Amino acid sequence: MHYLITGHTGFKGAWLSLLLKQQGHQVSGISLAPEPGALFEVAGLDADLEHDIRLDIRDAAATAKAVQHVSPEVVFHLAAQPLVRESYLEPRLTFETNVMGTLNVIEAVANTDSVKAHVVITTDKVYKNVNRVEGYKEDESLGGDDPYSSSKAMADIMTQSWIKSFPGIPTAIARAGNVIGGGDVSKDRLLVDLLQSFSQGVPTSIRYPDAVRPWQHVLDCVNGYVALADELLAGGGLGEWNFGPAPESFVSVRSIADAASKLWGDEASWIDESSGNHLHEAGLLALDSSKSEAQLNWRNKLKFDDSLAWTIAWKKRLLLGENARDVTVSQIKNFISIP
Ligand SMILES: NC(=O)c1ccc[n+]([C@@H]2O[C@H](COP(=O)([O-])OP(=O)(O)OC[C@H]3O[C@@H](n4cnc5c(N)ncnc54)[C@H](O)[C@@H]3O)[C@@H](O)[C@H]2O)c1
């Protein structure tokens, strides 16, 4: 099967590409250039791809041409401006990329005869945040206070409208939350900042130590995307799907920082900066994934402790001189072997 991933040079896209390659598929990608030191780059992923295309999805004509040229059977749309704090600095770029960019991809897919399934990636942040402890279900209201969340909610609602208005290519929406794993180089992500400062031997500052987040290993998340595409190919799966971690993985930023410091060793530590004047970020975000568990037979294979341990092991193995690609592939093989 030939898969096209938009955003394949990003964190999730690179893990998804390597997972699909391990499963014996062909993979192509459309993205901007990778960030320096990104997993795509350090794992030499370009060598695995049928087509490795650099373009801006805000360009509708170029996107349409590229999707037709690749002629994939399945499309995963991940390309986005995915950072909340960046969205305050660059609101126009965020809306143009996440909303109109998504429309450009959806239209391009609709005009490409080879495509049999399309999965559009949004986020847990699409839900109207009412600090619910028990988790949001797929049919609950969407909203979004910051530009990132609202842009993704707009993309989500637009995709829902497209599914109902133009029922051609089977299309689904995947919503997942914070993911962790080796090779993330994004700004302003907790574990990225922690591991970076641990490896430099300096403490990192934490803005919201009491914010509770769902933590999930990137492999469990992208495995959910693949399960959803399989369901579309089998004739079901239309609409919205949550892929969150189990309730035991809803953990405060403080707890994950403490656990990561302990696992790292070498007197690693962090600084509580909660008194500073920071931009608004959503508090509790919890997902109810019972629909995906029941209907897609999907579940998280890695518990919270394993997810954290695998992420730290990835970084430590690289620091000890192992090759990024070998470490990533060995973790993917271990993941696949978990029943
Ligand atoms: N990482 C998380 O914790 C998380 C949580 C929830 C949802 N998501 C969603 O998952 C998806 C992937 O996130 P990620 O963490 O891998 O992000 P990332 O920043 O690592 O990767 C983003 C990718 O999108 C591409 N991209 C950005 N703007 C583009 C443009 N204008 N044209 C073409 N390509 C463009 C980049 O080149 C890159 O390949 C996003 O849709 C994001 O909103 C991520």
Give per-residue pLDDT as tens, 224-263: 999 999 999 999 999 999 999 988 888 888 888 888 888 8
Average pLDDT on 107-134 reads: 93
State residue 186's pLDDT score: 80
Residue 191 and residue 184 in contact, taking contact as beta carbons nearer than 8 Å: yes
**Residue with the nearest Cα to atom 26 of ligand 1?**
79
Instruction: Measure CA of the first residue to CA of the last residue in the chain; give whole Å.
Output: 23
DSSP state of 134: S
Q: Tokens 């206070």 identify what position?
A: 145
Quote the pTM value: 0.94
As a whole number of angstroms, the longest Cα–Cα distance in the chain is 57
**Residue with the nearest Cα to atom 11 of ligand 1?**
78
State residue 292's pLDDT score: 98
pLDDT band for 282, please (50, 70, 90 cuts).
low
CA 272, 277, 283 angle in degrees (round to 5)?
A: 70
3-state secondary structure at position 239: strand
State residue 289's pLDDT score: 95
DSSP state of 48: G
Q: How far is the CA of 266 from the centre of ligand 1 (A)?
A: 32
pLDDT band for 148, please (50, 70, 90 cuts).
very high
Average pLDDT on 149-178 reads: 96
Average pLDDT on 53-72 reads: 98
pLDDT at 273 over 60: yes
Atom number, ligand 1, closest to the C-alpha of residue 14: 16
Q: Considering only CA atoms, which of 132, 131, 226 is closest in space to residue 176?
A: 226
State residue 298's pLDDT score: 98
| C-alpha span between 170 and 101 (Å, rounded) | 19
Q: Which tokens sit at 242?
A: 């949550």
Query: Three-state secondary structure along 190-238?
Result: HHHHHHHHHHHCCCEEECCCCCEEECEEHHHHHHHHHHHHHHHHCCCCC
Strand partners, 76: 5, 119
Q: How far is the CA of 267 from the centre of ligand 1 (A)?
A: 33
Q: How far is the CA of 215 from the centre of ligand 1 (A)?
A: 17
Q: How far is the CA of 230 from the centre of ligand 1 (A)?
A: 22
Q: Considering only CA atoms, which of 309, 177, 331, 196 is closest in space to residue 246?
A: 177
State residue 82's pLDDT score: 95
Q: Which tokens sit at 178?
A: 């914070």
State residue 276's pLDDT score: 59
Output Rg (C-alpha) for the chain, integer angstroms: 19
Atom number, ligand 1, closest to the C-alpha of residue 97: 31
Kindly state the helix (H) or strand (E) to which residue 14 belongs, with its residue range: helix 11-22
% of the chain residues with pLDDT over 90: 74
**Candidate of 4, 15, 32, 65 to mutate for ligand 1, largest count of ligand atoms within 8 Å of Cβ:** 32
pLDDT at 283 over 80: no
Q: Considering only CA atoms, which of 125, 131, 275 is closest in space to residue 206?
A: 275
Atom number, ligand 1, closest to the C-alpha of residue 7: 39
| C-alpha span between 219 and 273 (Å, rounded) | 31
pLDDT at 270 over 90: no
State which fold the 2-337 domain adopts: Rossmann fold (3.40.50)
pLDDT at 115 over 90: yes
State residue 249's pLDDT score: 85
pLDDT at 200 over 90: no
Q: How far is the CA of 139 from the centre of ligand 1 (A)?
A: 24
Mean pLDDT, the chain, as a whole number?
92
% of the chain residues with pLDDT over 70: 97
Q: Which tokens sit at 74?
A: 């399945």
Q: Which residues of 64-90 are buried (b: 16+ CB within 10 A; e: fewer)?
A: bebbeebebbbbbbbbbbbbbebbeeb
pLDDT at 123 over 90: yes
Ligand 1 surroundings by CB, under 6 angstroms: 7, 9-13, 31-32, 56-58, 78-82, 97, 101, 121, 123, 152, 176-179, 186
State residue 277's pLDDT score: 60
Average pLDDT on 165-190 reads: 90
Q: What is the number of residues in the chain?
A: 339
pLDDT at 132 over 80: no
Q: How far is the CA of 6 from the centre of ligand 1 (A)?
A: 9
